[in-house]
Amino acid sequence: GLAVPATAIALVASGRVGAAVATRQVALAGGVAALAFLATTPYVLLDVPFFASEIARELDHQARGHPGADVVAGEGIYRPVVYQLVAGLPMTLGLATYPLSLVGAALFAARARSGAVAFLAALAALLAPLVVSKIAFVRYLMPLAPLLCAAAGVAVARLESRAARAAGTAVAAIAAATTLATTAGMVESLSPMPAEETSRWLAAHVARGDAVGVVGGILFHLDGATGDGASGDGASGDGASGDGADGAFAIEAASLRRLATGVERPRWLVVDTWERNRLRRPGDARPRVLEFARQLGDDASPYVRRAAFAAHYPFQRAYLALDPAFASYPLLGAEIFERRVPPARAPH
């Protein structure tokens, strides 16, 4: 929906449409968007208390932070909003479009006074939640993208000389090449996916009918597995067992809480890397679960680490320079553990 006001603002900046016409267009677009939202999401009106409670829950979520997506919130001046400005927006808009958008925004504010107030107000309204939030999901920047792309267009439109146009063409070519290179690198880094490698390893090493506990199973669609537990709930669920099949191993939705207390101990354990690292962070209210997650694979653990698979990301070193926490929270990865066999007792 923001593409319409962004286009209207860009037209005002170009002088092709008056501010009054653009304002009417934006108001009409906003009204249509609101009606479409209510028509497709009727329970906003049919169950107002629940809708309000979900909004309150999300506000609390933003205030508390989200392990793995809160960067290093609270350390010095490096807040999630700083990460979004120095890393998130370049990833969202492209390395060339981002600086062009800043130039265009400055030109717009200086020369198109009739539309500058609306433009800057829209940017401020969309940036304000990022300033107070402790979460740095890049997807939160998507509402800004139409406005900033329109601003980048303003900058390109103001390139009047032949040399300036050539420079603009070069920048656009670099932006396109960077996007293609990033996309190709991402495809290569995720081929094969950690879940695919995990499936192959389990197929080669796990006996028929063995139960495999999966913790944090959002990553795992394991080929050759049966059972209804492919989506583990991480730290708090009760688990659900598969029933096995000929030539396959059975999936169980394992629970770190139950594993830590010894209630369940499947022979094989597949752990979502992100889930384990999330529980390594200080401040967890379940010390026993935290200790179990930290010790997995160590000598003191009831499990031995047998294999690990992780995706590697293009420009990983650049991300690490901008966000040291990137190393601690890989987005895709799996670790495989086998229950430790206790030493045999000596005969009396």
Range 104-122 average pLDDT: 73
Q: Are 103 and 155 in contact (CB under 8 A)?
A: yes
pLDDT digits (tens, 9 = 90+) for 181-230: 767 766 766 667 777 888 888 888 888 777 788 877 544 455 554 444 33
248-265 pLDDT, tens digit per residue, is: 455 556 666 777 777 778
* Confidence band for 345, pLDDT divided at 50, 70 and 90: low
For all residues of the chain together, what is the average pLDDT?
A: 71
How confident is the model at residue 31, as a pLDDT? 84
**Residue 330 phi/psi, 5° resolution?**
-60, 140
Which has more confidence, 190 or 271? 271
Please give the Cα distance from 99 to 96 (Å, whole number). Answer: 6
Look at residue 307 in the predicted model and tell me its pLDDT: 92
Read off the pLDDT band of 75 (50, 70, 90): very low
Q: Is pLDDT larger for residue 145 or for residue 25?
A: 145
pLDDT of residue 151: 85
Grade residue 50 by pLDDT with cuts at 50, 70 and 90. Answer: very high
* Share of residues in the chain with pLDDT > 70 (%): 60
Euclidean distance between CA atoms 180 and 186, whole angstroms: 10
Q: 146 and 2 in contact (C-beta within 8 Å)?
A: yes
**Tokens matching residue 263:** 């209630």
Please give the structure tokens belonging to residue 240: 């659900």
Per-residue model confidence (pLDDT) at position 319: 56
Enter the pTM of the model. Answer: 0.53
Confidence of residue 95 (pLDDT cuts 50, 70, 90): confident
Q: Is the predicted pLDDT of residue 301 greater than 70, yes or no? A: yes
- Chain segment 139-170, per-residue pLDDT in tens: 888 888 888 888 888 887 777 667 767 776 77
Q: Which residues of 282-293 are buried (b: 16+ CB within 10 A; e: fewer)?
A: eebeeeebbebb
Query: CA 243, CA 228: separation in Å to the nearest integer?
Result: 8
Rounded to whole angstroms, the Cα distance separating 326 from 78 reads 14
Asked whether residue 65 carries a pLDDT value surpassing 50, the answer given is: yes
Most distant pair of Cα atoms in the chain: their distance = 97
> HSE on the CB side for 206, CA within 13 Å?
33
Pairing label, strands 303-310, 333-339: antiparallel
Strands in 149-267 per DSSP E = 211-215, 225-226, 249-253
Q: Which amino acid is at 7?
A: T
User: Is residue 281's pLDDT more than 80?
Assistant: no
* Residue given tokens 């396109």 in the structure block: 176
Write out the two tokens for 22.
């653009």
